[in-house]
Amino acid sequence: MSSSIQHTVAFRLQHPAGSDAERDFLTAALALAGIPGVQEFRQLRQVSPKSDFTFSFSMRFDDDDSYRAYNEHPVHVAFVRDRWQAEVADFSELDFVALD
């Protein structure tokens, strides 16, 4: 039985806070929300001093197949290759399923 997957990446950009480059990266990332299977896409800003990560992207997938399709989708692959790898200084990826 397949469960819904909550996919989250917390990250820190190489760009200065509030810069045009930071805004451009976040705007470009909105394309990920349009990939089939992505639900509840959110961009979040960190407000706690307990973490060095400054942003998070969060989204939900109905099942393993939709999550796999997202990872292999050309828009995701291009974003990771062209933007993420060059502009993200550090990140943590978390994928959760419900316990019940």
Domain residue spans of the chain: 5-96
The fold for domain 5-96 equals Alpha-Beta Plaits (3.30.70)
Spatial distance between the Cα atoms of 66 and 38, rounded to a whole number of angstroms: 8
pLDDT in tens, 36-82: 999 999 999 999 999 999 999 999 999 999 999 999 999 999 999 99
Looking at the whole model, is its pTM more than 0.85?
A: yes
Among candidate residues 32, 23, 85, the one with its CA nearest the CA of residue 55: 23
The residue to which tokens 């796999």 are assigned: 68
